[in-house]
């Protein structure tokens, strides 16, 4: 049996009824190469194996689905049995849940959701999520199109329902769910008009116990293709290629210009918006500025010391033959003061 960690493709496909639509979906699936697929808004009442193969290919033969009501809704979860096994399906009005059993790895629960549109139905939907959790103990990931925002910044304009956002956040806190960071996109849905309204209404939430099982997971956005929603690809064991890490040097605050660089970087990022995102952006900007500053002014301390010695030596020689100009005399004094600081800094670096 294969031991490859599963990838989960989450996507509101906006219907599986059209053969052309199914062909386009197939191309996305082949490119993403997932082992679990969770579609929302299938708009299909009866799912067949033939439809599955048209959308996903021949390796997908096992599936659970929540039928659409007429042409609205519908959830489909399909899996590659050579990588993972799903069992214990459970459905509610807006959710489809199954137990995920990866080969040689701990089990966890997966819930696919397709949230309702009206505010009254959304309140019922939030209560429904709590009922789902009560029936499925253990590591849990809940994914799909929630039709709900978690922050006002999740919409491209200010026409947001703050009361519903507060309800949703309160329920997430009660369920101890944490939203995964989405790499590559701010929003997941667009009305695709010339001046579009965009929202982040597709989410992946997980419990702490699920996160502990998949500490190397990565959630990324793909191109929307034929839907008005972009697909989300959840890689449970991403191969991270770490670049050079930022390392703060203890001697930096002693160097001239340090405080100016920090202040410039910190104030270069606006302070409005989500405070956690603002803090993250400010820290990133400060780290980049300090790295460039260090490479330019700190990284060549030995060279600066050599240059200072050489210029002082030449000024000493000139003073034996003539009176130094005011500029030369001032430069000599400045270089000697600088040399004290540079020598002290060089010794501190050597000790470290």
Give a yes or no: residue 37 inside a domain. Answer: yes
Instruction: Give the whole-angstrom CA distance, residue 144 versus residue 205.
Output: 9
Q: Which two tokens stand for residue 180?
A: 């995964």
pLDDT at 77: 97
Look at the alpha carbons of 304, 307, 311, 317 in this order and tell me if their dihedral is positive or negative.
positive
Give pLDDT tens digits for 19-78: 999 999 999 999 999 999 999 999 999 999 999 999 999 989 999 999 999 888 999 999
Question: For the chain, which ranges sit under pLDDT 70?
Answer: 1-5, 239-244, 297-300, 345-346, 348-352
Question: Could you list the residue range(s) of the whole structural domain that residue 290 is in?
Answer: 252-298
The CATH number of whichever domain residue 165 belongs to comes to: 3.60.10.10
Question: For the whole model, what pTM was predicted?
Answer: 0.71
Give a yes or no: residue 2 inside a domain. Answer: no
pLDDT at 349: 64
pLDDT at 320: 85
Cα dist from 62 to 48, 57, 239, whole Å:
10, 12, 28
Give a yes or no: residue 65 inside a domain. Answer: yes
Give a yes or no: residue 246 inside a domain. Answer: no
Give which of 95, 16, 84 is closest to 55, Cα–Cα. 16
How many domains does the chain divide into? 3
pLDDT at 305: 80
- Among 186, 205, 235, give the residue marking a domain's end: 235
Instruction: Give the whole-angstrom CA distance, residue 163 versus residue 72.
Output: 26
Instruction: Give the whole-angstrom CA distance, residue 253 versus residue 255.
Output: 5
Do 226 and 102 sit in the same domain of this protein?
yes
Do 138 and 267 sit in the same domain of this protein?
no
Maximum alpha-carbon separation in the chain: 101
Give a yes or no: residue 225 inside a domain. Answer: yes
Ramachandran bin of 176, using left for φ above 0, alpha for ψ from -120 to 50, beta for the remaining angles: left
Give pLDDT tens digits for 105-148: 899 999 999 999 999 999 999 999 999 999 999 999 999 999 99
Instruction: Give the whole-angstrom CA distance, residue 186 versus residue 221.
Output: 9
Do 221 and 202 sit in the same domain of this protein?
yes
Give a yes or no: residue 1 inside a domain. Answer: no
**Which residue is associated with the tokens 């500029």?**
327
Q: Which residues contact 210 (CB under 8 A, 6 or more apart)?
A: 108, 139, 140, 141
Q: Which residues contact 66 (CB under 8 A, 6 or more apart)?
A: 73, 74, 75, 76, 91, 95, 96, 114
Do 127 and 209 sit in the same domain of this protein?
yes
Do 261 and 129 sit in the same domain of this protein?
no
Do 105 and 168 sit in the same domain of this protein?
yes
Pairing mode, strands 7-12 and 182-183:
unpaired
Helix (H) or strand (E) holding 202: strand 202-206
Yes or no: say if 36 and 62 are a contact pair by the CB < 8 Å rule: no
Give a yes or no: residue 35 inside a domain. Answer: yes
Instruction: Give the whole-angstrom CA distance, residue 73 versus residue 62.
Output: 21
Do 152 and 209 sit in the same domain of this protein?
yes
Do 18 and 162 sit in the same domain of this protein?
yes
> Would you list the DSSP string of 208-277?
HHHHHHTTT-EEEE---TTSSB--EEEETT------PPP---TTGGGSTTHHHHHHHHHHTS---S-HHH
Give a yes or no: residue 243 inside a domain. Answer: no
Do 290 and 325 sit in the same domain of this protein?
no
Do 291 and 334 sit in the same domain of this protein?
no
- Among 298, 316, 335, give the residue marking a domain's end: 298
Angle of the 326-351 helix axis to the 301-321 helix axis, nearest 10: 150
Do 312 and 292 sit in the same domain of this protein?
no
* 3-class SS of residue 181: coil
Yes or no: say if 144 and 12 are a contact pair by the CB < 8 Å rule: yes
Query: How far does CA 48 lie from the centroid of its chain?
Result: 35
Instruction: Give the whole-angstrom CA distance, residue 126 versus residue 135.
Output: 15
pLDDT at 243: 63
Do 190 and 41 sit in the same domain of this protein?
yes
Q: Which residues contact 200 (CB under 8 A, 6 or more apart)?
A: 149, 150, 154, 155, 182, 185, 186, 187, 188, 189
pLDDT at 108: 96
């Amino acid at each position: 049996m294969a031991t490859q960690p599963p990838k989960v493709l989450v996507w509101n496909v906006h219907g599986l009824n059209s053969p052309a639509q199914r062909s386009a979906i197939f191309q996305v699936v082949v490119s993403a190469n997932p082992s679990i697929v969770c579609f929302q808004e299938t708009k299909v009442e009866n799912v067949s194996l033939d439809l599955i193969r048209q959308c996903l290919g021949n390796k997908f033969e096992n599936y659970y689905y929540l039928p659409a009501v007429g042409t609205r809704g519908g959830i489909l979860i399909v899996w590659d049995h050579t990588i993972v096994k799903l069992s214990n399906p459970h459905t509610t009005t807006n959710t489809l849940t199954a137990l995920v059993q990866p080969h040689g790895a701990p089990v966890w629960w997966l819930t696919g959701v397709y949230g309702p549109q009206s505010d009254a139905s959304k309140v019922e939907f939030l209560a429904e999520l709590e009922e789902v959790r009560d029936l499925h103990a253990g590591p849990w990931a809940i994914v799909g199109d929630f039709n709900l925002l978690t922050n006002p910044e999740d919409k491209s304009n200010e026409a947001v329902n703050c009361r519903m956002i507060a309800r949703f956040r309160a329920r997430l806190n009660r369920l101890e769910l944490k939203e995964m960071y989405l790499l590559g996109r701010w929003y997941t849905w667009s009305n695709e008009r010339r001046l579009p309204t965009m929202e982040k209404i597709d989410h992946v939430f997980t419990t702490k116990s699920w996160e502990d099982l998949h500490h190397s997971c990565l959630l990324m956005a793909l191109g929307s293709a034929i839907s008005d929603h972009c697909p989300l690809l959840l890689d449970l064991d991403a191969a991270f290629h770490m670049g050079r890490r930022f390392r703060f040097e203890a001697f930096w605050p002693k160097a001239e210009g340090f405080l100016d660089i920090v202040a410039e970087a910190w104030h270069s990022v606006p302070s409005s918006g989500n405070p956690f995102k603002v803090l993250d952006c400010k820290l990133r900007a400060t780290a980049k500025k300090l790295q460039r500053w260090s490479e330019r002014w700190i990284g060549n301390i030995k060279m600066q010391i050599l240059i200072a010695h050489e210029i002082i030596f030449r000024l000493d020689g000139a003073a034996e033959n003539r009176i130094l100009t005011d500029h030369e005399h001032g430069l000599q004094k400045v270089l000697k003061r600088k040399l004290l600081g540079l020598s002290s800094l060089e010794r501190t670096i050597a000790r470290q």
